[in-house]
Amino acid sequence: MNIKLSPIISAKELQAIYQNDNLVIVDASGGPKARENYSTKHLDRALFADTNKDLANVKPNAAEGGRHPLPTADQFSQALGRLGITPGSHVVVYDDMGGANAAARLWWMLRAIGHSKVQVLDGGLLAAEKAGLVTSSKMEIPGKVAPYPVVEWKLPQADMQEVEKVAKAKDHIVIDVRDAKRYAGLTEPIDLIAGHIPGAINVPFSDNLTGDGLFKSPQALKDKYQAVFGNTPADQVIVHCGSGVTACHLLLAADYAGLDIPKLYVGSWSEWSRNNKEMVTADTAGH
């Protein structure tokens, strides 16, 4: 019987398999100082995945696919090869934001190409340090491997046209996982316009975590998302954020809860808000 691997691994569980030959640990922390932070401190053996270069195909204009469009199959294939990841690798990915930086995005991308042996470290770097895992500042060199054979993205996605078509439909749910103030249009630290897609509901990704930054139990997440989804099937649920990164946190939580993985709208608000689409802003919300 084939037992499905949990998408979440605890620091203690990681410690128990640390010396396995097929283990590849990836630091997917993001932000402007990500590489600098990595070179200061990362888990021993962890390789650095650059959100912009390895996990996205950033275009000159974010109107074309948002701030973090998916790379092509060939680009991702080359990136995985650089990280020493093969179809036989057991990949454990972490970041410095409980999976919300880019760990969940890399998890989704690997699952989307059919790689099932991938897990996100619960609580990220902080939890690992608390559990006594060794950190390092040395530059890790991955083993030389061939580019990973990537053919296509297999997990469900929605594009801007589909979102526009179904966002207000009663038989579909469009979920915005950004924090409530960004959704309400009260603040926008990154994109040009503050607000949300008309018809989208707000389910902040941060609610997937406990106060100490660990994922809530699978049962708690199942109860939460069954209440959100109701009877709507996963292929009629579309999840987005600012640029298709933190949206993956909800997809990860749904999988951890034993539910089907909804569709990802990669372009998200960063694409939508740059394409003259209808928007709900703080000025229009009351009208």
CA atoms 99, 102, 103, 104: torsion sign: positive
Q: Which helix (H) or strand (E) holds 202?
A: strand 201-202
Q: Is residue 241 annotated as part of the catalytic site, yes or no? A: yes
Exposure of 218 in the CB half-sphere (CA atoms within 13 A): 9
| Helix-then-strand count for the chain, H and E | 10, 11
What are the structure tokens assigned to 269, written together? 């608000």
Give me the amino acid identity at 105: R
What are the structure tokens assigned to 231, written together? 């009877």
Distance CA 175, CA 197 (A): 9
Q: Which residues are paired to 24 by β-bridges? A: 91
Residues 6+ apart with CB under 8 A from 219: 257
* Selected catalytic residue, list 241, 248, 253, 254: 241
Say how many Å lie between the first and final Cα of the chain, rounded. Answer: 56
Active-site amino acid positions: 241
